[in-house]
Amino acid sequence: MSNDIAVNMKNITVRFVETLANDDISLSIKKGEIFAIVGENGAGKTTLMNVLAGQIQPTLGSVEILGSTVTTFSPTAAIKAGIGMVHQHFMLIDSFTVAQNIVLGHEPKKPAKFGIFFDNKAAVRFTEDLIREYGLEVPPNARVRDLGVGLQQRVEILKALALGSKVLILDEPTAVLTPSETDELFKIIRKLKEKGHTIIIITHKLYEVMEISDRVAVLRAGKLAGIEETKNLSESKLASMMVGHELSFESIPRDETVKTPVLDIKNLTVSNARGLIAINDLNLTINSGEIVGIAGVEGNGQSELAQAITGLRPALKGSIYLNGIEITKQSPEKIRKLGLAHIPEDRIKTGLSKQASIWENLLVGKQRRREFAWLKLHLRRDKISKYSKEVYNQFDVRGAGIHIPVGSLSGGNMQKIVVGREFSFENTRAYVISQPTRGLDIAAMQFIHKQIINKRNEGAAILLISADLDEIFMLSDRICTLFEGKITAEFDPKTASKEKVGLAMLTHSKEEVCENS
Amino acid sequence: MSEFLAAFFTVFNVMLFQNTLRTATPIVLAGLGGLFTDHAGIMNIGMDGMMLIGAFTAVMGTYYFQSAFMGIVLAIVVGVLLGLFFGLFVIKFKSDEFIIGVALNIFAGGITIFLLRTLTGVKGAFPLPKSLGLPTVSIPLLDKIPIINELFNNNSILVYICWLLVIICYLVVYKTPYGFRLRAAGEHPQALRSIGVSPDFIKYSASVICGILCCLAGAHLSLGYLTQFSENMSASRGFIAFACIIFGRSNPIKVFLAALLFGFFDALGLRLQNIIPANLTLIIPYAATIFVLVIAALQSKRKSKLSELKLNKV
Ligand SMILES: Nc1ncnc2c1ncn2[C@@H]1O[C@H](COP(=O)(O)OP(=O)(O)OP(=O)(O)O)[C@@H](O)[C@H]1O
Ligand SMILES: [Mg+2]
């Protein structure tokens, strides 16, 4: 075996009870290469990487890491062999500091001779050295829960580097990042490459693949559909390799309807989980048949705004009206009854119950309806089954039927369950939609976008919060930038430029934007 | 008036505080054990049963080997087994921790009565000679100082061990690598697994520590003062310990203080027996538990209100 190979996977097959997640995949990745893996939701990307990271034992096949054959599949063995993985869903202890997270599992001890106690100073020093070595700025003494996702991701990368990993796996790292944070991440990736690390990156954004990678592997339904040098590819070629046929990018027609105010927010002030002001005296009106996109860097009050409207977080001041009825102090259940649906940003924590089955997750919110519950007491399985299957098929969920737990679906397919449930409430007048396509493949993203515009055409008022500026531009009728809990500027997506909006996301007032441009 | 004063002083005297320390000890020990499982993310309501079994084995061990030391050793061994047993169901088989806890409590009540009757033929209570009780420790110079002497001297050895354990547990939980992993295992076990540390191993260890400390708590109950085992003698102290863990937010020092508070009410109940009907005084510690928990709940509510008020001023 030539020794410029970092990872060699042979005939990897992973079978879960009802699905063949990986089907006879063989590929090898060179040292110092940036290797991208793409594929539709549920194609088996995460599973394949979990095999490499020792989280899953393959049903068949063998793995060689940096020249030595893997005999036991365990996280410890993978770490020893030089694999580090930044998971799609972060693996950080929120209540610990950055330094404590980084040294977890190999804690420095004091006093030197006996080594009983945890040496926090040494942990901080270790972290500072690491930060200096890789040029990845993070505050070592800050608590992880106080950091934004971008910084949390850096902690994850540092954590892997601290364990001595030579091969770094990043599972959809850009899904949670803003464009500028993505740029930062790519700089880091290039720097790691220079230092001789091998990077494996999973992403659904094809222009990112074109920008960062040296080679790409395409997975389709568990099989390897092809490996190519990135320079021989184009985005559209890649897209058709992924889905197996040409993708059409037709634009979705928009109807112009009569516009009446539906969702009305007046002088809203909301605090965040730590008691600090997150939304500060905000005013916003959304009309029927209108999509208002909220653009902003994460942590400027987006989450709190969505939570306040949907009744998940109390408003300190101000009021919110839905069709003229005040919903400020109502329960989430009542607000939903009045015609509001919500796609929460965090599908795992708020959107779904991971242990519950798919049909149960799809039923939530409709469980008291006469059609699904006899006398509101006894669930009618046949009716529920029929409805769940409809949603499941309509949203093209790729999994093993409606009876398996949601937690065993791939990340993107979990998202489809949330969207499917929220979009199947009839008589919904307004939608609060946060990060609707986070982790979705292009086809699924197109489909969801079409659904959102259809709802708009049917006359719903839609508040769209997304870290993806392209998505905001494509869907919105009006773009508002949110900065430190205030709406700082408003744009018309047909005339505004992305640069201008991007700038407004970082400044206090419209005047500054105008001055700077 | 003087009658009232006299009555007052039969209740509120040094003895009261002496009793406080004594009655608090089993609660402290069980609370220290339970806070380990609590940090590891296991809700353990089976502490009461563990205590009862510990009390029973301590007495039986002492009886068969004619030595309190062997009684304690046996209680510790059984504590390890109980911890492993509890861990097996909760961690390995992933059974509902609540149900396993309840089952353990019911099982403990039954098995101790059954074994007591078959092994000794005694119903109700099985007393041992006073000489077989736990040794007391007398600290030399302390007997010169009046009140301090009565409070802190000549207690059973487990009382001193218990005080030492409070500090040790505090250090273990907050200052050692093990403590960090323990808290990580409770907060995000998957994160530990991904860096090659087994969260299950940590959970088992917490469960075993809990078993040992609960059985020690039981041993103190049966050997520390009365030197006898009586049926259901734990009298829900395991649940009071659970309340202390919640009240003290699983911090060993705070759990200790909370346990002292409950010990005080317990002792107060005992001393009031001369004045008020015993049936009524027995409620005191339990009523106090509920009362304090309600206060704790209200307190945290008021705190969040307060922070809202501060915000409005901003
Ligand atoms: N623990 C599990 N138990 C059962 N099935 C699973 C499990 N994990 C994954 N699967 C199934 O394996 C298939 C591949 O999943 P995987 O998570 O690898 O997809 P993915 O390519 O990462 O998708 P996404 O882009 O949505 O993250 C899916 O059909 C999924 O339902
Ligand atoms: Mg995935």
Q: Could you tell me whether strands A34-39 and A198-202 are parallel, antiparallel, or unpaired per DSSP bridges?
A: parallel
Could you tell me which of A272, A261, A262, A278 has the C-alpha nearest to residue A340?
A262
pLDDT, position B279: 79
Tell me the pLDDT tens digit for each residue of B201-245: 999 999 999 999 999 999 999 998 788 999 999 989 999 999 999
A316 close contact with B: CB closer than 8 A: yes
Q: What value does the mean pLDDT take over residues A328-334?
A: 91
Residues 6+ apart with CB under 8 A from B38: B44, B186, B245, B250
Tell me the pLDDT tens digit for each residue of A10-34: 999 999 987 899 999 999 999 999 9
H helices of chain B, where?
A: 2-11, 14-39, 47-65, 68-87, 97-120, 146-152, 157-175, 177-187, 189-194, 199-223, 237-247, 252-272, 278-281, 284-313
Whether residues A473 and A331 share a domain: the answer is yes
pLDDT, position B308: 45
Nearest CA to ligand 1 atom 17: A410
Give one DSSP letter per residue of A182-203, joined into a string: HHHHHHHHHHHHHTT-EEEEE-
- CA-CA distances (angstroms) from residue A323 to A269, A317, A342, B65, B171? 21, 20, 16, 80, 58
Do A506 and A297 contact (CB within 8 A), yes or no? yes
* Å from CA of B183 to ligand 1 middle: 29
Chain-chain contact of B194 with A85 (C-beta, under 8 angstroms): yes
Whether residues A363 and A390 share a domain: the answer is yes
Q: Is residue A513 part of a domain?
A: no
Q: Of A243, A274, A300, at which residue does a domain stop? A: A243
- In A, minimum Cα distance to B171 occurs at A117
Q: How far apart are CA B12 and CA A93, in angstroms?
A: 48
pLDDT, position B310: 42
For residue A453, give the amino acid letter: I
> Smallest CA–CA separation between A165 and chain B, in Å?
11
User: By percentage, how much of chain B surpasses pLDDT 90?
Assistant: 59
For an interface test with A, give the residue of B195, B200, B250, B307 to mutate (most A CBs within 10 A): B195
Nearest CA to ligand 1 atom 3: A408
Q: What value does the mean pLDDT take over residues A354-372?
A: 90
Q: In the predicted model, is pLDDT for residue A83 greater than 50?
A: yes
Could you tell me which of A492, A98, A441 has the C-alpha nearest to residue A293?
A492
Other Cβ atoms closer than 10 A to B200: 15
pLDDT band at A249 (very low <50, low <70, confident <90, very high): low
Give one DSSP letter per residue of B271-295, joined into a string: HHTTTS-HHHHTTHHHHHHHHHHHH
Whether residues A79 and A198 share a domain: the answer is yes
Which residues in chain A have their CB less than 8 angstroms from residue B177's CB? 107, 109, 118
A294 CA to centre of own chain: 17
Q: How far apart are CA A270 and CA A279, in angstroms?
A: 5
Q: How many folded domains does chain A comprise?
A: 2
Q: How far apart are CA A346 and CA A344, in angstroms?
A: 6
Could you tell me which of A86, A49, A91 has the C-alpha nearest to residue A173?
A86
Q: Could you tell me whether strands B136-137 and A430-434 are parallel, antiparallel, or unpaired per DSSP bridges?
A: unpaired
Whether residues A42 and A176 share a domain: the answer is yes
Q: In the predicted model, is pLDDT for residue A454 greater than 50?
A: yes
* Å from CA of B201 to ligand 2 middle: 28
Identify the three-state secondary structure at position B68.
helix
**For residue A289, what are its two tokens?**
């048949």
Q: Is residue A511 part of a domain?
A: no
- Report the nearest atom of ligand 1 relative to the CA of A22: 14
Residues pairing with A228 in the sheet = A216
Peptide bond just before A436 cis, omega within 30 deg: no
- CA-CA distances (angstroms) from residue B85 to A422, B78, B79, B80, B148? 44, 10, 10, 9, 42
Q: How far apart are CA B159 and CA B162, in angstroms?
A: 5
- In A, minimum Cα distance to B305 occurs at A275
Q: Could you tell me whether strands A34-39 and A215-220 are parallel, antiparallel, or unpaired per DSSP bridges?
A: parallel
Q: Is residue A250 part of a domain?
A: no
pTM of the model: 0.81
Residue A217 CB–ligand 1 contact under 6 Å: no
Among partner residues A76, A100, A109, which is closest to B196 by beta-carbon distance? A76
Q: Is residue A415 part of a domain?
A: yes
pLDDT band at A515 (very low <50, low <70, confident <90, very high): very low
DSSP A463: E
CATH number for the domain harbouring residue A187:
3.40.50.300
Whether residues A234 and A266 share a domain: the answer is no
Give one DSSP letter per residue of B171-217, joined into a string: HHHHHSHHHHHHHHHHH-HHHHHHTT--HHHHHHHHHHHHHHHHHHH
Whether residues A191 and A321 share a domain: the answer is no
Q: In the predicted model, is pLDDT for residue A427 greater than 60?
A: yes
- Report the nearest atom of ligand 1 relative to the CA of A44: 18
Whether residues A266 and A236 share a domain: the answer is no
Phi/psi at A177 (5° precision): -105, 155
pLDDT, position B133: 85
Q: How far apart are CA B128 and CA B223, in angstroms?
A: 9
Whether residues A197 and A325 share a domain: the answer is no
User: What ligand is nearest to the CA atom of residue A88?
Assistant: 2
Q: Of A213, A243, A273, at which residue does a domain stop? A: A243
Q: How far apart are CA B314 and CA A278, in angstroms?
A: 12
Nearest CA to ligand 1 atom 31: A409
Identify the three-state secondary structure at position A428.
coil
Q: How far apart are CA A372 and CA B279, in angstroms?
A: 52
Q: Is residue A249 part of a domain?
A: no
Q: In the predicted model, is pLDDT for residue B314 greater than 50?
A: no
Residue A47 CB–ligand 1 contact under 6 Å: yes
- In A, minimum Cα distance to B177 occurs at A118
Q: In the predicted model, is pLDDT for residue A512 greater than 50?
A: no
Q: Is residue A271 part of a domain?
A: yes
Which residues in chain A have their CB less than 8 angstroms from residue B312's CB? 316-317
> Smallest CA–CA separation between B188 and chain A, in Å?
6
For an interface test with A, give the residue of B94, B174, B181, B194 to mutate (most A CBs within 10 A): B194
pLDDT, position B313: 36
Chain-chain contact of B196 with A79 (C-beta, under 8 angstroms): yes
Name the one residue in this structure whose structure tokens are 């965040």: A272
> Smallest CA–CA separation between A430 and chain B, in Å?
29
pLDDT, position B307: 46
A112 close contact with B: CB closer than 8 A: no
User: By percentage, how much of chain B surpasses pLDDT 70?
Assistant: 95
Q: How far apart are CA A446 and CA A248, in angstroms?
A: 10
pLDDT, position A214: 96
User: What ligand is nearest to the CA atom of residue A405?
Assistant: 1
A207 close contact with B: CB closer than 8 A: no
Could you tell me which of B31, B21, B74 has the C-alpha nearest to residue B214?
B31
Residue A39 CB–ligand 1 contact under 6 Å: yes
Residues on B contacting A at a C-beta cutoff of 8 Å? 171, 175-177, 179-181, 183-184, 187-188, 190-197, 304, 307-308, 310-312, 314
**For residue B215, what are its two tokens?**
């059985």
Q: Is residue A254 part of a domain?
A: no
Q: Is residue A509 part of a domain?
A: no
Residues 6+ apart with CB under 8 A from B252: B32, B35, B166, B167, B169, B170, B173
Chain-chain contact of A93 with B183 (C-beta, under 8 angstroms): yes
Q: In the predicted model, is pLDDT for residue A39 greater than 50?
A: yes
Among partner residues B176, B194, B308, which is closest to A87 by beta-carbon distance? B194
Nearest CA to ligand 1 atom 22: A46
Chain-chain contact of B177 with A53 (C-beta, under 8 angstroms): no
**For residue B161, what are its two tokens?**
């061990």
H or E segment to which residue A125 belongs: helix A120-134
DSSP A251: P
Whether residues A230 and A270 share a domain: the answer is no
Among partner residues A53, A85, A104, which is closest to B184 by beta-carbon distance? A104
- Report the nearest atom of ligand 1 relative to the CA of A50: 18
- Range in A98-107, A165-174, A459-468, B275-284 the model is least confident about: B275-284
pLDDT, position A101: 96
Which residues in chain A have their CB less than 8 angstroms from residue B311's CB? 271, 275-277, 316
- In B, minimum Cα distance to A123 occurs at B177
Among partner residues A75, A104, A317, which is closest to B180 by beta-carbon distance? A104
- Report the nearest atom of ligand 1 relative to the CA of A204: 25
Q: In the predicted model, is pLDDT for residue A5 greater than 70?
A: yes
Residue A396 CB–ligand 1 contact under 6 Å: no
Ligand 1 probe mutation, A22, A37, A47, most atoms within 8 A of CB: A47
Tell me the pLDDT tens digit for each residue of A172-224: 998 878 777 889 999 999 999 999 999 999 999 889 999 999 999 999 999 99
Q: How far apart are CA A270 and CA B278, in angstroms?
A: 53
Whether residues A239 and A273 share a domain: the answer is no
pLDDT, position B309: 43
Could you tell me which of A387, A481, A467 has the C-alpha nearest to residue A433?
A467
Q: What value does the mean pLDDT take over residues A306-329?
A: 93
Q: How far apart are CA A286 and CA B218, in angstroms?
A: 65
Whether residues A138 and A268 share a domain: the answer is no
A436 CA to centre of own chain: 9
Tell me the pLDDT tens digit for each residue of B49-107: 999 999 999 999 999 999 999 999 999 999 999 999 999 999 999 999 999 999 999 99
Q: Helix A442-457 to helix A235-243 angle, to the nearest 10 degrees?
A: 90
Domain ranges, residue A57:
5-243
A76 close contact with B: CB closer than 8 A: yes
Query: What angle is formed at CA B75 by the lines to CA B263 and CA B214, rounded to 5 degrees?
Result: 35
pLDDT, position B16: 84
Of B253 and B313, the structure prediction assigns the larger pLDDT to: B253
Do A63 and A7 contact (CB within 8 A), yes or no? yes
pLDDT band at A247 (very low <50, low <70, confident <90, very high): low
Could you tell me which of B30, B15, B11, B14 has the C-alpha nearest to residue B209?
B30
Whether residues A43 and A166 share a domain: the answer is yes
- The most confident of A60-74, A361-375, B173-187, by mean pLDDT: B173-187
pLDDT, position A149: 80
Of A1 and B44, the structure prediction assigns the larger pLDDT to: B44
Q: How far apart are CA B154 and CA B210, in angstroms?
A: 27
Which residues in chain B have their CB less than 8 angstroms from residue A276's CB? 311
- Report the nearest atom of ligand 1 relative to the CA of A441: 25
pLDDT, position B60: 95
A95 close contact with B: CB closer than 8 A: yes
Tell me the pLDDT tens digit for each residue of A460-502: 999 999 988 889 999 999 999 999 899 999 999 999 988 888 8
> Smallest CA–CA separation between B194 and chain A, in Å?
6
Q: Of A243, A272, A289, at which residue does a domain stop? A: A243
Phi/psi at A186 (5° precision): -65, -35
